């Protein structure tokens, strides 16, 4: 049986599609030279029982333009069961869609990166990820940069972002633009926290780290809580270091003051005895 650009062997025919989605059982997938999205659309509709993202085809062409290679939607070896693979990077990381059992509002099918250890959220949906990629390409503005990515985005790009809008915004920091104009992204918020630390603004770092963990921002993902715990630990280490510095600075002064008081006290006692 051929499903999603691959060939499934083993198991009864009726069990083939659930096996592909859930990634268990003994079915084996043989990947072949693979192109674009019709199979992904069919897989999402028929196997994942979900509505395919409107601009999935444009996103996959953009990822291909960036040097990633297409994967069959059934090529799930080594992936978590609910990931629908799209493309693979040279590093081995896989860009995929996450098919939730029960999707949180606004995150019906987020774009994720599946690494050797863990799943990292790239964007809450396909359109948001396309928007971010176009902004970053526009902000890069290098001599070797060309319009290939914008051409690959086609009508989706025209709808989501107009080239030159980043420069027109007069926002000098790309991360600030992404947070204001595109949406919230875990890696952008983490960089913002670390930048506050580097600037010595520990209060802003703690506030941003706490903001990162609000459940309505990235529901279902544990990374915000892990990162915030690291932030709190770092703040504790900094606080302990500052306390130690304060003690070392003021300890000699305190000791000298104590000795002076001791001398005055003992001198007063000696004087009293001599008068007696």
Range of 159's domain?
54-183
Looking at the structure, tell me whether residues 171 and 189 fall in a common domain: no
Two structure tokens written together for 266? 């003992």
Digitized pLDDT (tens) for each residue of the chain, 276 residues in all: 333 333 333 333 333 334 444 444 333 333 444 455 778 999 999 998 889 999 999 999 999 999 999 999 988 888 888 999 999 999 999 999 999 888 888 898 999 999 988 899 999 999 999 999 999 999 987 655 668 999 999 999 899 999 999 999 999 899 999 999 999 999 999 999 999 989 989 889 999 999 999 989 999 899 999 999 998 888 777 666 555 556 567 666 666 667 666 666 655 555 555 555
Residues in the chain: 276
Last residue of a domain, one of 183, 213, 235: 183
Domains in the chain, number: 2
Stated pTM of the model: 0.74
Two structure tokens written together for 137? 């390409």
pLDDT of amino acid 7: 32
Q: Give a yes or no: residue 10 inside a domain.
A: no
Q: Write the Ramachandran bin of 222: left for phi over 0, alpha for psi from -120 to 50, otherwise beta.
A: alpha
b/e sequence 50-71, b meaning 16+ C-beta within 10 Å: bebbebbbbbbbbbbbeebebb
Strands 83-88 and 94-98, bridge-based pairing: antiparallel
Distances (CA, A) of 104 to 123, 134, 177: 14, 26, 25
């Amino acid at each position: 049986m051929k499903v999603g650009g691959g060939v499934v062997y083993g198991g009864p025919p009726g069990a083939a599609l659930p096996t592909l989605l859930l990634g268990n059982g003994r079915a084996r997938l043989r990947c072949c030279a693979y192109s674009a999205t019709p199979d992904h659309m069919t897989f999402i509709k028929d196997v994942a029982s979900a509505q395919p993202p409107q601009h999935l085809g444009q996103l996959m062409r953009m990822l291909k333009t960036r040097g990633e290679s297409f994967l069959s939607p059934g090529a799930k070896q080594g992936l978590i069961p609910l990931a629908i693979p799209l493309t693979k990077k040279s590093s081995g990381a896989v860009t995929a869609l996450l098919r939730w059992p029960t999707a949180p509002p606004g995150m019906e099918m987020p774009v994720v990166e599946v690494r050797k250890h863990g799943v990292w959220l790239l964007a809450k949906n396909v359109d948001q990820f396309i928007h971010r990629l176009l902004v970053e390409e526009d902000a890069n503005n290098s001599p070797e940069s060309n319009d290939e990515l914008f051409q690959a985005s086609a009508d989706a790009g025209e709808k989501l972002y107009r080239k030159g809008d980043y420069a027109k915004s007069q926002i000098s920091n790309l991360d600030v633009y992404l947070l204001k104009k595109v949406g919230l992204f875990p890696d952008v918020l983490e960089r913002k926290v670390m930048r506050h630390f580097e600037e010595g603004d520990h209060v802003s770092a703690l506030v941003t780290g706490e903001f990162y963990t609000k459940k309505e921002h990235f529901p279902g993902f544990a990374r915000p809580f892990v990162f915030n715990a690291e932030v709190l630990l770092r703040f504790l280490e900094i606080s302990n270091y500052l306390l130690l510095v304060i003690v070392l600075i003021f300890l000699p002064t305190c000791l000298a003051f104590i000795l002076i008081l001791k001398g005055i006290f003992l001198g007063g006692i000696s004087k009293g005895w001599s008068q007696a």
